[in-house]
Amino acid sequence: MAEALKDVVRELSPEDREDILDPDFQFALRELLQAYKPLLEADLARVDTPDELTKEVLEAGPSCEDEFTAADQLLGRFLTEEVAVRLLPANARELLGPVERWRWCLLHIRCCIIFGWLLCRRPHTFRTSNYYLYRFWRCVRQAIGTPVGDALTAAERADFARLVQAMASAYKPYLSDQLASAEFPSGIPDEIITGKLDCLEDDDTAGSIFERLLAPDVAPALLGEEMFAKHQQEPWFWFCRCWCLCAIRFGCCLARIRNLRDFVRCLLFYRRCLRQCFRPLSCELTEPTGCVPEEVNVELKALVVAVRGTAAGGMFHHYVLEWSQDGISWHASDFHYPPIPPGGGVQGTLAVNNGLLAFFDTSARDPGFYFIRMTVVSVEGATQVCTTQFSLFKQEVRIISVDGAALDTVWADPNARFIESVPGICEDPPGTWRRFPSTDEMSFGECLHIYGGAFVGGCDGKRIKRYMIDYKPGFELDCFTAGWNNIWKVEFNTVWQYRDSNMRKDTSNLTAVWNTDCIVPVFFPPYCLHSEPQARLDPSCWASHTGLCELSGLVTLRLMVEDTDGNLYCDTQRLWIDNKPICAELRIDAVPKCQDLFVSQFANPPECSSAWNLPLSGIAYDAYINDALPLTRPNDNFDYYQIHVTKQGRPTITIPISMGPTSPCFKGTKRIGKCDPCNALDPHAGDVYGTLAQFDLRAVDLFCKGSLPYAVPDAFTIPRKECCVYTFDLWVYDRTVRSSGVNWAHASWPVKICNDLKPT
């Protein structure tokens, strides 16, 4: 054993070297080896009798009860009252006093060692870990004199359920970290090759889980409300938790021993852990400092800055973080304390050594300078305070709207679309539509107003230099491919341009241009004492219509922001652009424009019960945006057409386009005819006319208009044997959004109608 100790000593710190030669340590080491000796000798004896070993395995399978009994016998032999006391540091013995006061604590420490030993003997799932947690809980209750029966009471069930929930919270950060490593393994090969990652990588992973599991607020569930209330006022109660944590980690260490040297290492670790229970409060903030960009935390669904450092000490109870922008007014909100998830909370209840203290939620915070303050509190109320400061760097680079249209999901979604609610047309009968209502992707045309954010800043010397808007035909997600066409550029150079009013945030107009601004206004002539050119960004728009039918199709808009360090930030959004004109042509084949039309030619017979239809011909056509793509919305963005008839100096009526089962429909939902508006030589060369509607001339006859399925005012009619001028107007609409409003085309055909029927 002396040789083994020499090997260990070479690897130890001066404090550990002194510890290992202490008589109390030597005594405990001998007791530990003696406790293991029967087990080691029995296993050594089996080496020469493989037949007996095989028979033993065949006759008795593994048993959970046998495992627990063996652990109790093995570790129970070691942790006698004398061993326990001699391993305690002097300040612990002084704190505890006579053993009669704290014997219950000592008895439950055996359960802690057994729990660590059982849990770390081999890999376990989360589910089986809870089985050992159950045995640990029963062991503790037995040790403190409140044993759990075979049939649990409602209170006991609730306590154990609380422990399982605590185990889940303790495990989640570990599982999340493992999942992240599995999903993004690209950096692991380099870490292994460079020696950063080796066999000792996860040495204290279990310890972190134990620390989170036995949080102070779990003690009532572990001990029971009555025993917790009885002992929590003891001045050394806090030490029992720290002692138990050391014991669990000691048991875990023993479960992994590979040689005699490991016994020494485990015992050294255990004694060091107990000594650390009495180290003074430690408060240190190491991050954030300097210029810190916020990051997306998927689990918290927030933009965050990690706060790292140390909040620990022998009598540690909790720590509280606060933020301030002036160092005077402090706020304890917006911090997410471990475990993550779920985050939240009002304080950190677990000691942290050079690790994550919390995430500072900056989602609703402005960029700029911040102070972070941490207060570490002991069980006796003593405090240690430390601070750090940093500059929050924010980036807001996003296109969120075009001409007031909204995206159907968040702007960061690569499948986001600008959508609209398309109303239904002509419901007859109920539930049946000529065009069903829907929610569809939109198209835009002419001069486009683009809205969003183009901002980076918050740190001195690192701010926006310029932003650009580009487009590329088709749907593109990669900002850095070739083929982009620049349509907008805004440069920031002067102090006037860097004013906050010019920063493009939230829903700012990105299609903005520099203009002169009055810097010093007064309310008397000349009303401005100092003005600066190119000092104010004014709203404008991008003229997307560059020629006949150009630009039209599915494109991707790219917003690119460059900061003063040359870093680039971008966002892309898909957009349908429609600059193809609508075709609207109207004619009455029966009569030329401005000529006389006689009712008697169509009232055949001239009876009110029969329709006197006048065919109306024309074109109501909107070209598909891109014939090579599926002919669905928004590529097919034809809306409807209507025909109005106006009596000179009198009312206007809208005439039916078709008849439903019970009522007329006054909107045409299908294209009529065809045209080629993009033919630069002759836009009418390919015109094809069709029938738009039938105008029932009974509408102009006062005696017969009542037979129509729609209302016609008396003033619209003409007496028999009289004439009047009527104008037929065709209005054709598509769904393209333009800054001027609804997109339409119009045609008209005036005629003089003579009601030459015999008077009644």
3-state secondary structure string across 697-747: HHHHCCCCHHHCCCCCCHHHCCCCCEEEEEEEEEEEEEEEEECCEEEEEEE
- Give the SS3 label for residue 11: coil
The least confident of 48-52, 606-610, 659-663 is 48-52
Per-residue pLDDT at 7 exceeds 70: no
Task: Read off the amino acid at residue 35.
Answer: A
- The end-to-end CA distance of the chain, in Å, is 133
With cut-offs at 50, 70 and 90, classify the pLDDT of residue 203.
low
Task: Give DSSP secondary structure letters for 14-25.
Answer: HHHHHHHTSHHH
User: What was the pLDDT predicted at 1?
Assistant: 33
Tokens matching residue 315: 């009598």
User: What was the pLDDT predicted at 649?
Assistant: 85
Q: Are 440 and 419 in contact (CB under 8 A)?
A: yes
Helices (H), 351-482: none
- Which of 166-175, 219-228, 656-665 is the most confident on average? 656-665
Q: If we measure between CA atoms, which residue out of 242, 87, 25, 122 comes closest to residue 8?
A: 25
Q: Report percent pLDDT > 90 for the chain.
A: 59
- Give the SS3 label for residue 216: helix
User: What was the pLDDT predicted at 175?
Assistant: 76
The least confident of 337-341, 690-694, 745-749 is 337-341
As a whole number of angstroms, the distance between CA 269 and CA 259 comes to 16
Task: Give DSSP secondary structure letters for 157-183.
Answer: HHHHHHHHHHHHHHHHHHHHHHHHHHH
Q: Are 250 and 118 in contact (CB under 8 A)?
A: no
Tokens matching residue 554: 């599915």
Per-residue pLDDT at 194 exceeds 90: no
For residue 122, the 8-state DSSP code is: S
As a whole number of angstroms, the distance between CA 113 and CA 434 comes to 77
The least confident of 200-204, 237-241, 366-370, 406-410 is 200-204
Tokens matching residue 296: 């997306």
pLDDT tens figures, 527-583: 999 999 999 999 999 999 887 788 999 999 999 999 999 999 999 999 999 999 999
According to DSSP, the β-strands at 596-598 and 741-755 are parallel
Q: If we measure between CA atoms, which residue out of 427, 424, 360 comes closest to residue 392?
A: 360
| Tally of CA atoms within 13 A in the half-sphere of 591 that contains its CB | 20
Tokens matching residue 134: 């159950």
- Give the SS3 label for residue 70: helix
As a whole number of angstroms, the distance between CA 56 and CA 58 comes to 6
Phi and psi torsions of 130, nearest 5°: -70, -25
Q: Inter-axis angle of helices 23-46 and 50-59, to 10 degrees? A: 90
As a whole number of angstroms, the distance between CA 283 and CA 308 comes to 11
Task: Read off the amino acid at residue 106.
Answer: L
User: What was the pLDDT predicted at 307?
Assistant: 97
Residues 6+ apart with CB under 8 A from 625: 443, 552, 553, 554, 576, 577, 578, 580, 634, 635, 637
Phi and psi torsions of 580, nearest 5°: -85, 130
> Using alpha carbons only, how large is the chain's radius of gyration in Å?
42
428 or 750, which is more confident? 750
Residues 6+ apart with CB under 8 A from 10: none
Q: Inter-axis angle of helices 205-213 and 237-255, to 10 degrees? A: 150
User: What was the pLDDT predicted at 704?
Assistant: 96
As a whole number of angstroms, the distance between CA 271 and CA 120 comes to 19
Q: What is the pTM of this model?
A: 0.69
pLDDT tens figures, 60-117: 666 777 778 777 878 878 888 899 899 999 888 888 888 888 888 888 999 999 999 9
Residues 6+ apart with CB under 8 A from 144: 104, 107, 108, 223, 224, 227
As a whole number of angstroms, the distance between CA 605 and CA 738 comes to 48
Q: Is 157 exposed, middle or buried (0-12, 13-18, 19+ CB in 10 A)?
A: exposed
The least confident of 52-66, 622-636, 680-694 is 52-66
Average pLDDT, the chain: 89
pLDDT tens figures, 286-296: 999 999 999 98
- The beta strand positions in 504-581, using DSSP E, are 504-509, 512-521, 528-539, 542-543, 553-563, 568-577
Phi and psi torsions of 297, nearest 5°: -110, 110
